[in-house]
A and B are shown apart, each in its own frame.
Chain A
Amino acid sequence: MLKPSASPHLRRIERPFYQAGGVLLCLVPLTAFSCLYYGVRPLLLVLIGMITAMLTEVFCAAFARRRPTLNDGTSAVTGALIGCMMSPLTPFWVPAMGALFAIGVVKMPFGGTGRNVFNPAAAGVAFCALCFPTRLFTYPDPAQIAPLPLTDTSSVVTALSPAAQLSHNATASIDWLSLITGNFAGPIGSAGVIVLLACALYLWMRRSSSLLIFTPYLTTCALLAWIFPRSPSPDAVLTELCTGLLLFTGVFLLCDPVTAPRHWLARVCYGVIAAVLVMVLRHFGRFECCEFFAVLLVNALAPMLDRTCWRIADTVSEVMNR
């Protein structure tokens, strides 16, 4: 019995979990590094974020009488990313609130996976930053040896992160080895340049992220940090790039395929505009880490960038072919 079939009859099949699985795999070494310094607290924060996000998706889907799409792993990734952007000292309910906001307000009302306009992880952390700034930006001193206590964190010695020092116009004096291995006060996700760059490379090889976004972003950030340094030390550019959530944003938030543009020229412009916004917000922003606000702003531009850059590239290739 012959059945109808639409061309092309051959498809390249990819499991739904493939894209999200790659990102989750990358977050494992980041969390592990942070656990090495601070004990089990970072892991719990990430797990709480993931679980809250998945539960919120199930609840919202049940409310809308739709099947929850947990098998594509995107809500787990959102929750894990929110957890990774927290400070190791953050109370456990903060990433939960962030994940609730991210999934319940930014992702599901727009239609669920693949239909959100704004990056849910960036929005969740932005919500936490606006509502609970002190809890988000209080970092423990990595020099202390004992692991962080789970409940009462009042006895922990805190330290200003290099990003905070730069934003207060003070010099961030950290040696380059500490910068590269992540041995400074910062969020869970700013584990170290080596790990983050390895994650970027891995995601690119898995075709989950685009180098066309990351490379212009990093280059523009470095250029702007070199032209407008915030500290007089010779390590100014390296300090600027390795502190805060700059690299983390470039690797995980900007390269999120749903909210990033698809056209190659649009991706390049997206990376450049994001870098400009990040550096401007770093110089003039209210918080020491403003990268997620930059991500949200540039997400709004993505569809317009796609269409405009496509038109430009099409016109240019037409002119060149004539």
Chain B
Amino acid sequence: MAPYKGIHLTFEKKPAALLPTAQLTDVKQVVLPFAYPTAAPVSPSVFLYDTLRRGTPLSEVEGEPFSVMRSSVTGVVCGEKTVNHPLYGELHCAVIDCSSDTGDEVAVPEDHLVTTESILEAAEKAGIIDELDGVPLVLKLREFQETRIDFVVGDAVEVQPYASSAWATLRSYAEEVLDGLSLAAACAGTNGYHIAACLSPSRRRSLSLRVGKERFFKADSRYPVKEPVRRGRKNGGVMVSKNAVVRRVGVQACLALSRAVRLGEPHTTAIVTVAGDAVKSPQNLQVPFGTSVQELLTRCGLSCDPETLILGDIMTGVASLTQDVPVLPGMTCVLAFAHRPTKLESPRACIGCGRCVRSCHAGLLPFEIYRRFENMHDEQLAALQAHRCDGCGTCSYVCPCNLELTATVLEAGRADNTILLDLKEDTDA
């Protein structure tokens, strides 16, 4: 019943998607937080001048072992610093000088009997974070265990213009990704595990040959992606009913899960797309966590001093004011632009074209929320349910009047109907 929703964005994935993934192994220094942001008490377990191996936990968190960060490199702790990360907030971090010894702290599984409990244990020990939403994978798998799931889908859809890290992961490690997905599906107690991607026909064919045609779902290329499957229809020959319960897992997390369970390896690297018009050679890089973004940009080469640095893809990414930001799980794209990606003019009044309503996949009225919020009409705002917004940015993208709809709707949703009224006395009363 709902009319067309979503927009088509022009892809700028070449040449990054075409080049092979480069490995960044000669990183000199990494900055890693002791733990992910958590309310539980954190006690660091490594100190200055301690030698670390890849996988050594940096701290202990009471009651939340999945919040612990593990060292992504072998090296020596040479300091501590506080980093204001654009995505994670304020983080207390350890600075680690990398050494060339590649010894790992791995827990090689004793036997090859894989059970749900062993999968969960391996995911927790490896410290895997799902790059799609930043949730620890072990929490997701526990939820899979407890609820009835019909399909576990490896989400490699990537309909934003620049990111191609999921494709790079699949290109290099498709079989391992599928193995990781099967392990996640085993936790969920289902045999329905598939990879969903939006690819050209030739790439789709080559991937189908490797993972099997029935394991591949073709996804729509409209942004934003509400769900990677099309309900009530056959996806890759498999019927997904309207009531089927579908859960998404990131492909890099699946890869990490496969390695953790089969080889006992910790989750220490990420594949990041580095692109943008200020980057000389855009490409996908596999880097250890904690590598600074500056290092990534130096490796790819900068044609000029960038004015805009975006962590994430261009629609939902956060602009960073410094290049000195460590790569952490959840960061799959770094964009550097010489100027602003789009030269913004000053906002005009809403002309009522209705494009924001047509393109909102959450079914909201962005123009009305904007109007009510600007006029501080508190009582109407609650009825408009601004908290349903997920910040996809489509409304601001399509607006011909350059209104900051996304930011306003998000703020209205966060304000939770308590708008501070700026009371002024009228001079001519």
List A residues at the B interface (Cβ < 8 Å): 1-14, 16, 18-19, 69, 72, 111-115, 207, 210, 257-264, 267, 306-307, 310-311, 313-314, 316-317, 320
Contacts and interface: CB of A to CB of B under 8 A. Distances in A.
Contact of A16 (B318, B348, B356): B348
B352 A112 contact: no
A9 B317 contact: yes
Interface of B: 1-3, 9, 161, 305-310, 312, 314-323, 337, 340-344, 348-358, 363, 365, 367-368, 380, 383, 385, 391, 393-394, 396-402, 404, 406-407
Given A113-B349, A258-B352, A9 B1 contact: no
A9 B404 contact: no
Contacts of B323: 2
B306 A11 contact: no
B352 A259 contact: yes
A113 B350 CA distance: 8
B357 A9 contact: no
Nearest to B380: A307
Nearest to B355: A207
Contact of A9 (B9, B305, B308, B365): B308
Given A7-B317, A114-B352, A306 B9 contact: no
A161 B320 CA distance: 67
A10 to B, nearest CB: 5
Contacts of B400: 12, 14, 18-19
A207 B317 CA distance: 29
Contacts of B318: 7
16 contacts: A1-B305, A2-B308, A4-B319, A5-B319, A7-B312, A8-B315, A8-B394, A19-B400, A207-B353, A257-B351, A260-B354, A262-B353, A262-B354, A267-B354, A310-B368, A314-B363
A277 to B, nearest CB: 20
A5 B340 contact: yes
A118 B317 CA distance: 40
Contacts, number: 141
Contacts of B355: 207
Given A3-B308, A113-B349, A258-B352, A8 B396 contact: yes
Contact of A307 (B306, B310, B316, B368): B368
Interface of chain A: mostly helix, strand, loop or mixed: loop
Contact of B341 (A1, A10, A19, A262): A10
A306 B366 CA distance: 12
A2 B309 contact: yes
Q: Which 10 A-B residue pairings sit nearest by Cβ, starting from the closest?
A: A114-B349, A8-B393, A262-B354, A14-B400, A5-B319, A257-B352, A11-B342, A8-B315, A258-B352, A9-B341
A7 B393 contact: yes
A6 B315 CA distance: 10
A4 B321 contact: yes
Given A12-B398, A14-B400, A3 B307 contact: yes
B354 A263 contact: yes
Nearest to A302: B352
A49 to B, nearest CB: 21
Contacts of B407: 6-7
B424 to A, nearest CB: 19
A9 B342 contact: yes
B365 A258 contact: no
Contacts of A111: 349
B393 A19 contact: no
A254 to B, nearest CB: 13
Given A3-B340, A7-B316, A7-B391, 4 more contacts: A10-B9, A11-B402, A113-B349, A306-B365
A313 to B, nearest CB: 8
Contacts of B358: 264
B1 A7 contact: no
Contacts of B396: 8, 11
A10 B309 contact: no
Most buried by B among A9, A14, A267: A9
